[in-house]
Amino acid sequence: MDGTGFVPARSGVGHRRRTAIGDRPSTERGKRTRAQLLAAARTVFERDGYLDARVADIAALAGIAHGSFYTYFDSKAAIFRTLINDVMESGLYAPREPRPATGGAPSLAEAWARIEADNRRYLAIFRRDRALMGLFEQVASFDPELRAYRIELRRRTAARAAAGLRRLQEWGLADRELDPDTASLALSAMVGNYVYYWQVMGIEAEEEHVVEQLTRLWARAIGLAEPS
C-alpha cells in the first residue's frame, strides 16, 4: 500500500510493462514520462513529507494516469529511492578529478586539500537537496527497506574513503595502525551527522569555519601531519 489505499498488483498491467521496460525506458516518450514522475515526486515529497505523500498526487502533478505510475515504479518507496540515488550519483559518487600523475606520494598539502574538497562537495550536495536528504534521514529511521538502503549508501561512501586512506598509509602519510574500513565509516558518519544537524536541524554555523574544522578533524584522525 502506498498511502492512497491502492495496492499495486504484482501481476497487473503496470507490473508487466515495468518488467518489459526495466528501470530505464528506451523510448523518448517513456524517458520523458519517467522524468516527469521524478520531478513531480520531488515536489510532492518536499511539500507534503514522505508519510503524507501519495502516488495519486505524484501522478496528477506529472499529468499521467494513476495506474500508469506503476509502469515505471512499483511503490512510493521505489520512486523515493530513485530520487535519492540520482542525487547521490550526480554528486557524491560522480567521478572526481584524477590526481596528477606525479609518480609518487602526494604532498601533505595535497592530501589535506583532497579531504577539504570532498567535504565541500558533500556539503554542496546536501545543501542543494537539503529537503530531500533530510527526509531520507528521517524515513530511514522507521522504514526497514530504506534503512537498509541508507546503510548501503553510507558503506559505499566509507569504502571510497577507505581506498584513499589505504593509499595514504602505503605512502607513509597516514597512521598505519588504523583499520581503514572502521576509521572511514566512523569519519563519514561524523561528517554526515554534523551536516544533517547543521543544514536540516538548523544549528548556527559559518560555512568556511565548518569546512575547516571538519577537514582538520578528518586529517588529524587519520594521522596526517600539518602541512608546513
> Given this model, what pLDDT does residue 99 score?
54
Residue 4 has pLDDT above 50, yes or no: no
pLDDT-based confidence at 101, cuts 50/70/90? low
pTM greater than 0.85 (yes/no): no
pLDDT tens per residue, range 6-23: 344 444 434 434 443 345
- pLDDT tops 70 at residue 102: no
CATH H-level superfamily of 13-76: Homeodomain-like (1.10.10.60)
- CATH number attached to the domain at 91-221: 1.10.357.10
Confidence at residue 25, expressed as pLDDT on a 0 to 100 scale: 75
Split at pLDDT 50, 70, 90, the class of 94 is low
pLDDT digits over 54-93, tens only?
999 999 999 999 999 999 999 999 999 999 888 877 766 6
Q: Do residues 215 and 116 touch, judged by C-beta distance below 8 A?
A: yes
137-189 tens-digit pLDDT: 889 998 888 888 888 888 988 999 999 999 999 999 999 999 999 999 999 99
pLDDT band at 108 (very low <50, low <70, confident <90, very high): very high
Q: Tell me: the pLDDT tens digits for 29-46?
A: 899 999 999 999 999 999
The answer on pLDDT for 212 being more than 80 is yes
Mean pLDDT in residue range 91-118: 77
Domain ranges of the chain: 13-76, 91-221
By residue count, the chain amounts to 228
